[in-house]
Amino acid sequence: MSNLKNEISRRRTFAIISHPDAGKTTLTEKFLLYGGAIQTAGSVKGKATAKHAVSDWMELEKQRGISITSSVMQFEYDGFCINILDTPGHQDFSEDTYRTLMAADSVVMVIDAAKGIEAQTRKLFKVCAMRHIPIFTFINKLDREARDPFELLDELEKEFGIGTYPVNWPIGCGVSFKGVFDRDKRQILTFNEFHKGQEKLTAIPCDITDTEKMDELIGEYQRAELVDQIELLDGASFEFDLEKVQKGELTPVFFGSALTNFGVEPFLENFLKMTTSPLPRKSADGTEVSPFDENFSAFVFKIQANMNKAHRDRITFMRICSGKFERNQEYYHLQGKKSMRLSQPQQMMAEERQVINEAYAGDIIGVFDPGIFSIGDTICTAKNQVEFEGIPTFAPEHFAMIEQKDSLKRKQFVKGVEQIAQEGAIQIFHEPNSGMERVIVGVVGVLQFEVLEYRLKNEYNVEVIRNNLPYQYIRWIRNKDIDVKSLNLTSDTKWVQDFKGNNILIFTSEWNIGWALDKNEGLILEDFNKD
């Protein structure tokens, strides 16, 4: 038991979230560099180097320079075993991010120092706040012109209703960026533009009342400004309270520059001290499952087909919630109601895989999936069955009719659409009594249509024709005994079915929903969003 407890205690599992282009993937790579997991960092934009970000594995991601799917990476650093979940920043892929946050114990929020809080950051923060996830803020790109740091803190506090505690404080920005002042250690980390911050940072202990030494380090003007700012912070800002941090009520704030590697290692070291080991998880009946429970349990939060062209397989990602996973043991798939051995258990470094013999609570593992798992499924020991609370699904807001160009490729088309739908990024429907030559696809963000077309062509060798549809709202028909054909509906309302045979209506406007309810007595419609 002591070894189990030690292994679980040293786990740290966190997600990184941000608005696109705030520097999230760059920060992730610098973490991996410190852990020795990679030797050189790639640049998403490909300016300084032709390499692409390690965490962006899908070809389309490399072409566009954005993260489309969540990546999972594990590495060791300073005695900790760290699981990073790198999430898509683009809002069209936010559903994947929401699910990934369910597997994280804490969150690192990356904010562009020039732009502050942006739409996607705001949306993702609300999910974290709802779950009381501890949030750590990295204000990035101090090597460029930036907004006033007090203004940024004020925005964080007002927008999110959360306290802020700056662990360090920037000295200038852009061309006048001299480094940061560590408030706890009372020392300055100097920034050297010539070396782009790549060298091991030198911390210079300093008494900020020592005018001569401070002037020598950062210049008279910036010394005077820093003294005033630190005095204001020490007197008026929130006090550090670890309990509030771990409840998600206070966010420690760090300033730095991920691209130049400045301030990343101090951030990582502080983060590991402040964040928690794996947290208990709530089961469907409301009881908590302790990570230190000896009985293995896990839930599925992500499914990805064709991660590796050489394998052409489907990987199911599981967050281990309790106990220890052992490779040759039998476990119970609760939804499938059967025992099984999890085939080819792996840990990930983006698309790189390593078969493992064991893993512990807090770890993320991938297993080969022949098509039996769904998002939200629970896997546990047969003798101590537990079911975890559901993972939210989100109503699609955009719809399109998709059909294959070549009728001879029907089999590949059906397989591709169904497999990609099982990953949770798209939802598929069909008109009653129609075949599978064409389907209606619903997505949360329109860029998902491009991803679907790209993947069907490159992974399943199927080209498709897409016709966008005007529908924006979707509702389940909850009356099992109703004759849907006889419903009085507007001409711009469509009746479709999912592949379990459920009857669904899609509407162009909320007015049409009101019409359907008003003109069909007894009709019960249910919002598609559900846990």
Tell me the pLDDT tens digit for each residue of 303-343: 776 655 555 667 888 999 999 999 889 999 998 899 998 87
Name every residue whose Cβ is closer than 8 Å to that of residue 397 and which is 6 or more positions away in sequence: 443, 444, 445, 472
The position carrying tokens 């941000």 is 18
| Same domain (yes/no): 16, 161 | yes
User: What's the confidence (pLDDT) of residue 297?
Assistant: 94
Cα torsion through 432, 436, 439, 443, rounded to 10: 110
66 or 229, greater pLDDT: 229
Tokens of 493: 């309302």
pLDDT range class, residue 195, cuts 50, 70, 90: very low
Which residue do the tokens 């075949």 mark? 435
One domain for residues 117 and 251: yes
Residue 253 reports pLDDT greater than 90: yes
**Listed residues 336, 357, 384: the one ending a domain:** 384
Q: Of 384, 411, 446, which residue sits at a domain end?
A: 384
**Residue 311: per-residue pLDDT:** 52
Same domain as 167, residue 289: no
- If asked whether residues 365 and 479 sit together in one domain, one would say no
Asked if residue 451 and residue 352 are part of one domain, the reply reads no
Pairing of strands 106-112, 80-86: unpaired
For residues 147 and 82, membership in a common domain is answered with: yes
In 237-351, which residue ranges form alpha helices assigned H by DSSP?
Answer: 242-246, 264-274
pLDDT band at 36 (very low <50, low <70, confident <90, very high): confident
Please report whether residue 256 resides in a domain.
Answer: yes
When pLDDT is cut at 50, 70 and 90, the band that residue 200 belongs to is low
Confidence of residue 252 (pLDDT cuts 50, 70, 90): very high
pLDDT value, residue 64:
40
Q: Does one domain contain both 19 and 113? A: yes
Average pLDDT for 506-529: 88
Q: What is the mean pLDDT of the chain?
A: 81
For the cut 70, the answer to whether the pLDDT of residue 62 exceeds it is no
Domain count, the chain: 3
Please indicate, yes or no, if residue 186 is contained in any of the structural domains: no
Report percent pLDDT > 90 for the chain: 29
At 260 the three-state DSSP class reads coil
Predicted model pTM:
0.76
| Residue at 506 is within a domain | yes
Residue 278, pLDDT score: 94
**pLDDT tier at 211, thresholds 50, 70, 90:** confident
Measured in whole angstroms, how far is the alpha carbon of residue 159 from the centre of its chain?
21
237 exposure class (CB count in 10 Å sphere: 0-12, 13-18, 19+): middle
The mean-pLDDT minimum among 18-32, 47-61, 173-187, 198-212 falls in 47-61
Claim to verify: residue 269 and residue 350 sit in the same structural domain: no
Is residue 206 domain-resident?
Answer: no
338-363 burial, b if ≥16 CB within 10 A, otherwise e?
A: eeeebeebbbbbbbebeebeebbbbb
Minimum mean pLDDT among 38-47, 138-147, 312-321: which range?
38-47
Instruction: Of 231-245, 448-462, 494-508, give the lowest mean pLDDT range.
Output: 448-462
Residue 369: CATH number of its domain: 2.40.30.10
| Residues 159 and 78 occupy one common structural domain | yes
The pLDDT of 292-313, averaged and rounded, is: 77
Q: Which of the listed residues 384, 412, 437 is the one where a domain comes to its end?
A: 384
pLDDT tens digits along 357-409? 899 999 999 888 877 888 888 999 988 888 887 776 677 888 999 988 888 88
Q: Domain containing 465 — which CATH number?
A: 3.30.70.3280
* Same-domain status, 139 and 89: yes
Between 43 and 171, the higher pLDDT residue: 171
The pLDDT tens digits for 171-191 are: 988 888 888 999 988 888 888
Q: Where in the sequence is the domain holding 404, given as residue range(s)?
A: 398-527
Using CB atoms within 10 A of its CB, is residue 330 exposed (0-12), middle (13-18) or buried (19+)? exposed
Tell me, yes or no, whether 229 lies in a domain: no
Residue 349 has pLDDT above 60, yes or no: no
> What is residue 308's predicted lDDT score, i.e. its pLDDT?
55
The answer as to whether 372 is a domain residue is: yes
Are the C-beta atoms of 247 and 134 separated by less than 8 Å?
Answer: yes
Residue 267 clears pLDDT 50, i.e. is over it: yes
pLDDT at 70: 42
- One-letter amino acid at 294 equals E
Residue 422 covered by a domain: yes
Q: Examine the domain organization and report whether 295 and 424 are in the same domain.
A: no
Q: Nearest Cα to 377, choosing from 307, 457, 303, 481?
A: 303
Same domain, 248 and 365: no
User: Can you tell me the distance from the alpha carbon of 409 to that of 208, in angstroms, rounded to the nearest whole number?
Assistant: 72
Question: Per the domain annotation, does 188 fall within a domain?
Answer: no
Q: Rounded to whole angstroms, how far apart are CA atoms 67 and 64? A: 9
Other CB atoms within 10 A of residue 146 CB:
24
The enclosing domain of 106 has a CATH number of 3.40.50.300
Whether pLDDT at 56 is above 50: no
